[in-house]
Amino acid sequence: MFKKFDEKENVSNCIQLKTSVIKGIKNQLIEQFPGIDPWLNQIMPKKDPVKIVRCHEHIEILTVDKGAIKFVLSGANIMCPGLTSPGAKLYPAAVDTVVAIMAEGKQHALCVGVMKMSAEEIEKVNKGIGIENIHYLNDGLWHMKTYK
């Protein structure tokens, strides 16, 4: 996904944060992770600037209808009818393209998948698996613990 990343082409905006904002971030980190205090200056040195880099979207975002939500969240692949019904939005995407799947009326992605048919084929055939679900909210990867 980031192999072809080009700063001039993919970055839309870059701003430097004010010192007061950086202090607020550090305070929130200390509040959320009390044991981080001894290492905080290594993670965010005092004199180093902190910047926010905004990039253009790197992944196609498709929308499924409300009826597909419970199936997607249980790990099911996304079927073509869920991508072509009135609440869904299907944008041009080729086979084997990685896509994010949003739900109708929601603002965050439900899953990440790989196109098994092109968007054009999905509209024509409207039957079978359109997208393979490879990672979804609350799956094993989502709940994986960090190891030291």
What's the pLDDT tens digit per position in 12-33? 888 999 999 999 999 999 999 8
- Domain ranges for the chain: 14-56, 61-142
The amino acid at 119: A
Q: What is the mean pLDDT of the chain?
A: 88
Contact 73, 133 (CB under 8 A): no
CATH class of 61-142: alpha beta
Contacts for 68 with CB less than 8 Å, ≥ 6 apart: 78, 79, 82, 88, 103
Query: Is 142 a residue whose pLDDT tops 70?
Result: yes
Contact 133, 77 (CB under 8 A): yes
Band (pLDDT 50/70/90 cuts) for residue 1 is very low
What's the pLDDT tens digit per position in 57-90? 778 889 999 989 999 999 999 999 999 999 899 9
- Give CA–CA dist 68/135, Å, rounded: 15
The percent of residues in the chain predicted with pLDDT above 90, rounded, is 51
pLDDT at site 29: 92
- Give CA–CA dist 109/135, Å, rounded: 11
Contact 94, 60 (CB under 8 A): no
**Model pTM?**
0.63
- Give CA–CA dist 60/29, Å, rounded: 32
If you count DSSP H runs as helices and E runs as strands, how many of each does the chain have, helices first? 6, 7
